Amino acid sequence: MSEGRRAPVNGSPYGTISWEEHVEAWIPYARRYGNDQDAERIAARGGFGLTELISQLGRMPVSWEPSSATEQWWKRFREESK
């Protein structure tokens, strides 16, 4: 199966989600917009954005993890905000 597989989350904040949660978000996306782009194609093009995921899932994705670039940005932001 796809255990351990991750899909990208596109846009700020960048990160990843589990493949299972990506497919879970793709199902309502495909119902709404059609299935010209399957879950594989969405991932290959950079994935859903975080707000798009929240809209499709109806909640914050539970498997979201920030990318290293996002973590570095927040670290710099916190340091500069002191």
Give the up-direction half-sphere exposure of residue 43: CA atoms within 13 A in the CB hemisphere.
Answer: 18
Alpha-carbon span 33 to 50, nearest angstrom: 18
Per-residue pLDDT of the chain (82 residues; tens, 9 = 90+): 345 999 999 988 889 999 999 999 999 999 999 999 999 999 999 999 999 999 999 999 999 998 887 778 778 878 888 8
Sheet holding 6-9, edge to edge: 6-9, 15-18, 65-66
Q: In this structure, what token pair is assigned to residue 26?
A: 């793709």
What is the pTM assigned to this prediction? 0.81
Alpha-carbon span 7 to 15, nearest angstrom: 9
